Structure 1
């Protein structure tokens, strides 16, 4: 690369950064300060909301649930499984702690959902027992693995289905959370690992958005 090419490349990169910051400010609607604080807390909002496939699933009580019914609240969607040795218990314990420190009016506008990536072992009863160790108001959902994979791909939090023929198998999955708005569309992500205190500071303002 010649010196001229390097200079042009650097200038293009600078312009791209400046444009990105400008677009971020416009999209946030509340100024760069709010957007920066959200990003610092691990909350990444999409520039445009995404529709979520209206799949049929089963909850921890064995009741049929349509994903289209996840409305009227902000939903934190976590893909995990009850036999997970590390990410899942840690994340769920953090979500319980975060919830316990949020104002009641914020908690009333939040729903925390575990979507099992291990439907082979995660029966509704298994989900209910497991989630009961953390918070009985947490929702557990299961479905055939192809439906779960369709949902995971739609919200850009994919996982690798396990070889269930192996004893004591584990499932490779992300610790990120999908963030759904009260209209049922995906509004963004919450990056792992979760930062409890920063999320406690930012979630009250976030759930006030429409």
Structure 2
């Protein structure tokens, strides 16, 4: 290698190093996390945000709730129901514990929402009472079954409507959580079963992002 080639090689290496440090600094300043760690925590982010269907539901206070109100904060949507024998109470208990492990800034920017897949039994009153056992700040949503199906399908968390004529029926549904960004668009999923230790380590950076 000639002296000129050596000089060029060194310059290219230095430029690459500087660019690498600059990119790393920019990413760090934006608070971006390691994608590998996110996946290890069960967090799957979409390449691009996805619009959430514009629908009207009813919250646990019996007030109308438009899905466009899922803005200004990060939201975790869990599609379940209050008569669920296992996965729902376990998931809500885990979300309660996860919330305790998060810093105040992240908690202030987080909304946990139980979307009922059993509107036949889950009245606003029932949702409010049930969520009070876990965390009164958790939001509950119910409404017409067709509306809930549209929302569930729109965020790729479909469920199988139950035969409500059977006594003590159960509803087949997913344990995954839907991540909605402050812009009201779906940003990804959190896979079930939840690992709250790893989520507590990775979620704060995401939850403190403004968009």
Q: Same fold (TM over 0.5)?
A: yes
- Give how far 1:208 is off: 2.6
Separation (CA, whole Å) in 2 of partners of 1:121 and 1:109:
31
Separation (CA, whole Å) in 1 of partners of 2:136 and 2:72:
20
Separation (CA, whole Å) in 1 of partners of 2:142 and 2:160:
16
Residue 151 of structure 1 aligns to a residue in which SS?
A: helix
Which residue does 1:58 correspond to in 2?
A: 58
Separation (CA, whole Å) in 1 of partners of 2:85 and 2:33:
38
Residue 34 of structure 2 aligns to a residue in which SS?
A: helix
1:33–1:126: structure 2 CA closer, same or farther, 3 Å change rule?
A: closer
Separation (CA, whole Å) in 2 of partners of 1:57 and 1:140:
10
Deviations 1:126-185 (A, max 9, x none): 000000000000000001010000000010000000000000000000000010000000
Which residue does 2:17 correspond to in 1?
A: none
- Give how far 1:54 is off: 1.4
**Would you say 1:181 and 2:185 are equivalent positions?**
no
* Matched positions, count: 182
> Contact conserved, 2:158 with 2:174, CA < 8 A, in 1?
yes
> Contact conserved, 2:45 with 2:187, CA < 8 A, in 1?
yes
> Contact conserved, 2:82 with 2:127, CA < 8 A, in 1?
yes
Which residue does 2:86 correspond to in 1?
A: 86
Q: What is the TM-score of this pair, normalised by structure 2?
A: 0.84
The structure with the largest alpha-carbon Rg is 2
Separation (CA, whole Å) in 2 of partners of 1:32 and 1:55:
32
Which residue does 2:96 correspond to in 1?
A: 96
1:35-50 matched pairs, under 5 angstroms: 35-50=35-50
Unaligned runs of 5+ residues in structure 1 are 1-28
Q: What is the TM-score of this pair, normalised by structure 1?
A: 0.84
Unaligned runs of 5+ residues in structure 2 are 1-26
Residue 171 of structure 1 aligns to a residue in which SS?
A: coil
Residue 97 of structure 1 aligns to a residue in which SS?
A: helix
**Would you say 1:162 and 2:162 are equivalent positions?**
yes
Separation (CA, whole Å) in 2 of partners of 1:58 and 1:172:
22
